[in-house]
Amino acid sequence: MEENLDGNLKKTLRDTAEGLANILSAILLLAVGLSFLARVHWLADIFSHFLIQYIIGAVVLGSFYAMIRTWPMAGLMALILFVSLHEIRRPVTPSSNVVPAISVMQYNRLIAQTNHDVLIEFITKTHPADIIVIQEAGAEMGKVIDHVKDIYPYYINETRSHAFGMVILTRYPITDRKFIPLPGPILDNFLLRASIDIPGSEENLVLYALHAVPPTDNIPWAQRNSELQRASTYVAQDNSPYIIMAGDWNITPYSPFFQDFLTATRLNYQETQLYPPVTWPSTFRLPVFQVGIDHILSSDSLKLIRKETGSPMSSDHYPLIATFGLASP
């Protein structure tokens, strides 16, 4: 009698677990399928950003199905795993013997943050990078510029009353700057271009910075894509050997529109670790619940040495810091 009860309980638990796994598998399959329609609709594009999560889900569910010997579902999870791995493939560049020459920090400060004491302390104590790009920079960011000017004497101040202001701080002289308007139906955005005289190089470093509109609906989705397309046109026409482009673009590397940008500009998206740094939202803490929407890309003559994140400092974004070595142009 007890053996029958134990057997029935085990069967009930197995059936319940399998039923839950089937529901999760259906959700996973739907999400992966929608991600292939990213060019069609903004919601489908959102689903293209979670390939790492799809990989984790496929591994967990596939292992469960293999354990209970439900081979068709295990095979389906293996297929999802293969497809996601194929889509996510990116070059992982190991740290080399290249001598560090220039470092860049990209940081979305969050426009709602008006007290920047923690940011000032972070910059003055750690000197996190040679060049710092701060986005969502409001008028209060002038206080930051004043407090760090002994360390970062050169800057571009394009603060705004809305979330698309920007400040660039640098240790090295800015020899040329250009404000490139990117008008759109949501707001009139802009792309910044700065030519920076870096030590150890006869050629200046050219920095582009963009904070793209978040794709919260069809119209802002179209504007974000248009901003990236227009920015790629400017970058593609730039003959400078040392180019870095940084910003919060509200897009992950797995979207086809990000791939379009890489193709047009011939800039490199690289990592130095298998699990790429994630930058948003910092409130979720665990990387599995976060995505990388802040980026630092580089031209061929810049060799990535390392890329890492720092403390969010009460922002919803982590700062992204990349260090590069110079190769012969």
Residue 276: its pLDDT value, please?
84
> Can you give the pLDDT at residue 88?
79
Flag residues of the chain having pLDDT under 50: none
Contact 66, 292 (CB under 8 A): no
DSSP string, 237-286: T---SEEEEEEE-S--TTSHHHHHHHHHH--B--BSSSS----B-GGG-S
Rounded Cα distance, 140 and 118, in Å? 13
pLDDT, tens digit (0-9, with 9 covering 90-100), for 141-155: 999 999 999 999 999
Asked if residue 68 lies in contact with residue 77, where contact means CB atoms within 8 angstroms, the answer is: no
Contact 49, 254 (CB under 8 A): yes
Q: How many C-alpha atoms does 242 have within 13 Å on its Cβ side?
A: 25
CA pair distance 205, 191, nearest whole angstrom: 16
Number of Cβ within 10 Å of residue 93's Cβ equals 16
Helix (H) or strand (E) holding 174: strand 174-182
Give the H or E element holding residue 196: strand 189-196
The pLDDT of residue 134: 98
Give residue for tokens 């400017």. Answer: 234
Q: Which residues contact 63 (CB under 8 A, 6 or more apart)?
A: none
Q: Which two tokens stand for residue 275?
A: 């699990």
Strands 166-170 and 174-182, by their bridges, are unpaired
Radius of gyration of the chain, Cα coordinates, nearest whole angstrom? 23
User: How is residue 37 written in tokens?
Assistant: 């329609």
**What does the pLDDT read at residue 11?**
77
CA–CA distance, 189 with 210 (Å, rounded to integer)? 9
pTM, two decimals, is 0.93
pLDDT at 285: 81
